[in-house]
């Protein structure tokens, strides 16, 4: 099931996008808002067995999820686990923790 059905959207009619939108025949655009993750108990998160992954240029959460879990739809698990809602919150060389057991991570994060 897609996690987007629970995401809020915002209408962007910013003047910064005016030229781009005009070229596309639009006046505004609707975007998903950056997700806000609940603040999970750090003790629970520390109890997980994790992989350490060094974030590199070109990496995305969905690519990492595809490599490790074989399913890019679990990108949000990695984002939530590291309290980084988007890759814009990371820099090259940052070490992120990726839960080894996706089923346990899903149980905790979706619970």
Which CATH number characterizes residue 72's domain? 3.10.350.10
Q: Are residues 21 and 47 in the same domain?
A: no
Cβ 82 vs Cβ 61: under 8 Å: no
* Inside any domain, residue 57: yes
* Inside any domain, residue 37: no
pLDDT tens for 21-42 read 888 888 777 777 766 666 666 6
Cβ 75 vs Cβ 62: under 8 Å: yes
**Is the overall model pTM greater than 0.85, yes or no?**
no
Is the pLDDT higher at 95 or at 41?
95
The mean pLDDT of 64-90, rounded to a whole number, is: 91
Cβ 85 vs Cβ 35: under 8 Å: yes
CA–CA distance, 25 with 93 (Å, rounded to integer): 40
Domain that holds residue 96: 42-110
Domain count, the chain: 2
Q: Are residues 100 and 79 in the same domain?
A: yes
CA–CA distance, 18 with 26 (Å, rounded to integer): 9
Q: What is the DSSP letter of 104?
A: H
The mean pLDDT of 62-74, rounded to a whole number, is: 94
- Dig out the tokens for 80 from the structure: 């939530």
* Inside any domain, residue 104: yes
Q: Are residues 58 and 26 in the same domain?
A: no
What per-residue confidence (pLDDT) applies to 1? 45
């Amino acid at each position: 099931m897609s996690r987007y059905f629970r995401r809020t959207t915002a209408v962007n009619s910013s003047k910064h996008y005016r030229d781009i939108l005009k070229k596309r025949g639009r006046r505004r655009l609707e975007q998903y808002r950056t997700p806000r993750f609940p603040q999970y108990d750090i003790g629970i998160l520390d109890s997980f067995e994790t992989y350490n992954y060094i974030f590199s240029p070109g990496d995305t959460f969905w690519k990492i999820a595809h490599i490790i879990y074989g399913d890019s739809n679990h990108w949000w698990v990695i984002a939530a686990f590291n309290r980084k809602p988007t890759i814009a919150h990371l820099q090259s060389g940052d070490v992120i923790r990726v839960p080894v057991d996706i089923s346990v991570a899903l149980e905790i994060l979706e619970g």
